[in-house]
Chain A
Amino acid sequence: MTAALDIFTVVAICAGAAFFMAGSVGLLRFPDSLTRLHALTKADNLGLGLIVLGLLPQADSLLGGLKLVAVWLLVQLGSATVAQLIAHALRRRGPGT
């Protein structure tokens, strides 16, 4: 049973790290600010979600696991709204980004 959970952890965390890499590649290669913002918020959030999912079997109690999920939800809420705010600000700055 623990071997299966460990394999699940390894797979999920590898996928999460891959999404982080994809987000960074997007940050480095996308041509303008709005697309870079998209890469940053979407890919990194998914990466964090997969990493949290992978760490859930390793948590030492139910409360610990719930806290991990709470962290992920909080980051989702915060970064989704901040992405909107940054996009508004970029649009206000006008074309030329």
Chain B
Amino acid sequence: MTEFLLGAAGLVLLTVALGLVRVLGGPGNVDRTMAAQLLGTGGIAALLLVAAATGVRGAADVALGLALLAAFASVAFVNSAAPEQEATGKDKPDQQADE
């Protein structure tokens, strides 16, 4: 079971690596913000698998912290990669279409 979990963790890390290759080179900054997302899900999956395999205590707390911080970092990246137009009140003309 330990080898299987570690192998699965390695596989997930491989997918993260492949994804990073594509995302970090992406044209434009908004594509790169997907890197934080990718690591958020892939990294947490690998973390949980490695922790279950090697018996590390407290790894679920690290995963909780990673989930919160990955969301936080992604929001900050998106806000600075594509700042909204500073209009007076509404700044997205297609706001109604979003609901």
Q: Do any beta carbons of A and B sit within 8 angstroms of each other in the complex?
A: yes
> Are A85 and B75 in contact (CB-based, < 8 A)?
yes
Bound Cα distance from A67 to B82, whole angstroms:
34
**B residues apposed to A, CB below 8 Å:** 1, 4-5, 8, 11-12, 15-16, 18-19, 21-23, 26, 28, 30-31, 33-34, 37-38, 40-42, 44-45, 48-49, 52, 60-61, 63-64, 67-68, 70-71, 74-75, 78, 81-82, 84, 92, 94, 98
Q: Which residue of A lies closest to B36 (CB)?
A: A82
The one of A10, A79, A86, A88 in contact with B41, judged by C-beta atoms closer than 8 angstroms, is A79
* A93-B34 CB under 8 A given contacts A20-B11, A23-B19: no
Q: List 10 A-B contacts (CB under 8 A).
A: A24-B16, A27-B22, A36-B31, A40-B37, A45-B41, A47-B45, A51-B49, A68-B48, A86-B37, A91-B94
* A21-B41 CB under 8 A given contacts A89-B82, A92-B82: no
Bound Cα distance from A93 to B82, whole angstroms:
8
Bound Cα distance from A84 to B62, whole angstroms:
25
* A86-B64 CB under 8 A given contacts A44-B41, A48-B44: no
Q: For the complex of A and B, list the 7 residue pairs with the smallest distance between their C-beta atoms, beginning with the closest.
A: A78-B71, A89-B82, A67-B60, A24-B15, A44-B41, A74-B67, A82-B74
